[in-house]
Structure 1
Amino acid sequence: MSSDPWGRVDETGTVYVRTADGEKVVGSWQAGTPEEALAYFERKYEGLVVEIGLLERRVKTTDLSAKDAQAAVDHLRQQVDEHHAVGDLAALAVRLDALVAAVDKRREERKVQRAKQHDESRQAKEALVAEAEELAQSEQWRAAGERLRALVDTWKGLPRLDRKSDDELWHRFSHARSAFSKRRKAHFASLDAQREEARKAKEKLVAEAESLSGSTDWGVTAARYRELMAEWKAAGRAQREAEDELWNRFRGAQDVFFAARSGVFAERDAEQSENLKLKEELAVEAEKLLPVTDLKAARAAFRSINERWEAVGHVPRDARPRVEGRMHTVERAIQESEENEWRRTNPEARARAAGLTGQLQAAVDKLRGQIDAARATGNNARADKLAKELEGRQALLDQALKGLEEFGG
């Protein structure tokens, strides 16, 4: 017979383990010495120790689900309860009890966490719905449309709620988007109708301008052309293609009339030559405003020059495109500066750029924290995967920061 502090083998080869409730039969050993029998069942005990240790680490350091953890505990407890090993089985039972407590605690923590995530998701979706309903009344068609599309992407990234709550919020969200879409379509339909009305009105103006182009009643016809120009401006814009074609015909009819009048008034050539000199001087003065460094001052100066320009009168027909082109070049440069200034100071565009930058920065910071946490727990595979994701997010952040700098910081 052989024994150790936790077990013994009797003369029949039966192996026993000592417990608080007395000796329990472990098994029978007929193949070798009693020492070999005890060593075999002691190894089985050590195997249980290793398995429990591994499970303890998994529960502590991984996201093992409570259900899987409990199943693993039950499996190990069955092996301990069946007494097929020699060792301190009571100590193993204590460790398994501690594991059950840890699993229960994790289950409760996850229940609380799920409830918190549910509340956060509800609050986030309610905020999206409120913003969408506000945007539904906006007349900033482009900006509001882009924002609503961004809200849809945000919604898709949020966890689902219970079906009833999720469906109710989605219905409100979808209704707001539909309402905005209907209003936008109605607006542009109205705009199209207005442009069609403008086209019809301008076609009439063109027809009259062309009918007057052969008139020799210089004073009356010139006055009527001025009236037609005022009516043209008041009619609003037609569709772009029609606008350009009608304008060319309208301006062409005027050119025919005024060219004929210029031919009749040849004696005014000297006066027009003097006008040309004056306008060339004004063009030189205007060109000195370029490049535009002080937009407000340049705008005021050009307005003054243009007023004097308008007061000068006609210039020879063949010189007009050249000298007017110089003024138009300056005017376009000032307009481009105005447009650039507006784009640079546009608060909506800046706010979008700042918002995007903030979201990307938060995402980068979060990823870095996740990488550090993964490294700390030895989960290098997850850390490497997150690092690759961080590279992409960092590149987007750098690009967004560069765009934000264009708005002045």
Structure 2
Amino acid sequence: MGRLSVRIIGFVLMAWSVAASALPGSAHAKPEKPLLAYAARIAGDEARTRIVIDFEERPEFSVHYVGSPERVIVDLPATAFGFPQEDLGARGLFSDIRFGAMDETSARIVLTAERPVQLSLAEVQEGENGEFRLVLDAEMATPEVFARLVSQQTWDEEARPDTSRSVSPADDGTFIVAIDAGHGGIDTGAIGAATKTPEKEITLAFARALAERLGKQPGVEVFLTRENDRFLSLSERVTLARQAKADLFLSLHADTLSQKDIRGATVYTLSDRASDRMAENLAARENLSDQLAGVRLKDEPPEVADILLDLTRRETQTFSIALAENVLKSFEGQIGLINNAHRYAGFQVLRAPDIPSVLLELGFLSNPEDEKLLADEDWRIKVSGLLTDAVLRYRERTVANGG
């Protein structure tokens, strides 16, 4: 008997078997048609990672957290995974990703994390052509938050992800300001021309002084992205501010320039196009912080990378500009400013979509006069007071305008 005949007979027998199982009184119940997951993509870093899986039909799902090691488990009904394994390869927050059938009625995705995580978003979104996307946004969490997620869940009923933030900010109208001391740890930043003082020490000292002054104001709460000499990636800084539900984000720096005669403070806001060559070069140097510290960089698929970058909404950018203008108004006539003191460029650390953000160059460590001021405690106290006035004025006007 030829191979073709054998295949035909096999196909007939298989078809007969399927038809027989569907007849009344059949010994086997007809299994439900599995969902088809036909595409997947993942992008992210050590602070935030997004997973998107495309389905032909709407999937029901549940989420659980498991420790030792930290894992996120996503349970699905019977699902056929019709995309290559490498399309959902481990990256970002996850060191291992596995998926497949559990039995005839269920499937599971197991996400093993590099560090404690939580899902800030887990939902099914309907596409324009009737397809459905399961979107999972994971972000770093503290060990305490992850332990709470594990202890508070139950496996006896369908679980939905806890999307609360890692920090529990006040919900009584308190105005929260995130102060970000630039650089830290292995990333020293610029080095003082005369004293060889690293930028990371200047920014941390100033962040502490500003936090002390701002924290004394009624209705204001201060959050420091780092309180000691440790490295934080740019994404971690933004994520920490968002988890704290900050109303403002102030990133502090003190750079160097080849032109040693340039001195004074500068306020930067975000823009995809730099205001000038100096702003462009400064943004390029600051955005290299992750690479200098050995953070793994990846070429993201444009669609997912755009989602992760969360390009600043126009309204938020308007508030950022208003914040910058308030800072400059406080500084004018009190401390030195460079020409065109409000500039803009593509700073990664300013890309929070929902937090008005500015990057403040306090001065230049390449200039001897600026370097002396940056190390002076009295000057820090003075500038902290001016910045506090700017923040309070911004808050008053924003609240008055319904912001």
Q: How would you bin the TM-score normalised by the shorter chain? A: under 0.3
Higher strand residue share? 2
Higher relative contact order (Cα pairs below 8 Å, separated by 6+ residues): 2
When normalised by structure 2's length, the TM-score is 0.21
Higher helix residue share? 1
Q: Which has the larger radius of gyration?
A: 1
When normalised by structure 1's length, the TM-score is 0.21
